[in-house]
Amino acid sequence: MQKLLWVSLKKALDKLIIADSTKVLAFNMPVAEVTNKYKDFINKGRYARKYEMKHIGNNPLLSVEHYKETNNIALDLLENIDITKIKILEDFELKQNILPIVSNLKELAEELTSTKEIENIHDIQKSLEGIEDIALPEDVRKTSGINKIRRFLELLNDPSSTIATTIKTVNNGAVIIQDITKYYNRIADWCGFPQIPL
């Protein structure tokens, strides 16, 4: 029974930790701890299997305790899964949120007349290129693109900033900024950045 449970637990953990590396973020414990416990589970499972094979004719029940100890590690890991986090990780696709931001920035730049602001927006667009292929939220947080768009949106919320004043003169400027903010907030929610008010 313990051996069959071990096989099932291994399949479940492999799906979460090996098959999709982003799902390791769905555990309510640090990634390093999840990885170490998983390695411990694998190593102890191998030992239990070797022990079982070595003592196959003598007393097969001796290996049950080894499998039981191994299974307890896996059960501890599985008890620390956050289903909500898994749903977010499964549903989120960075590309579906970055591309609309880039498109809206392009539209905004076409409406602006200030060379300085146009250059600033083009810089943000360039820094967002390639981000859509990043898989892990912590890697997205480190990119200059996501940080630049966050600072840009924070400036827009300051009515005394030059860019906020300039956007007010742009046809559909407020609508474009709301769109950018909506997509940014989805990314922010996924990668743990602060939300920007709409």
* pLDDT, tens only, 110-133: 988 888 999 999 999 999 988 888
The tens digit of pLDDT for each residue in 150-177 reads: 999 999 989 899 888 888 888 888 899 9
* The predicted structure's pLDDT at residue 90: 66
CB atoms within 10 A of CB 157: 13
Residue tagged 């239990």 (tokens): 48
| Strand boundaries in the chain, DSSP class E | none
Q: Which helix (H) or strand (E) holds 145?
A: helix 144-156
Taking all residues of the chain, what is their mean pLDDT, rounded to a whole number?
87
Mean pLDDT computed over 174-194? 91
The tens digit of pLDDT for each residue in 45-81 reads: 999 888 888 887 777 677 888 889 999 999 999 999 8
Confidence check: pLDDT of 14 > 80: yes
Q: Return the closest-CA partner of residue 167 out of 100, 99, 120.
A: 120
Give the separation between CA 124 and CA 177, rounded to whole angstroms: 14
CB atoms within 10 A of CB 139: 11
Q: Is 111 helix (H, G, I), strand (E, B) or coil?
A: helix
Give the separation between CA 46 and CA 31, rounded to whole angstroms: 23
* The predicted structure's pLDDT at residue 184: 94
Left, alpha or beta for 184 (phi > 0: left; psi -120 to 50: alpha)? alpha
Identity of residue 64: V
DSSP lists the bridge partners of residue 81 as: 27
- pLDDT band of 144, cuts 50, 70, 90: very high
**CB neighbour list of residue 4: distance below 8 Å, 6 or more residues apart:** none
Give the residue with greater pLDDT, 87 vs 156. 156
Confidence check: pLDDT of 106 > 80: yes
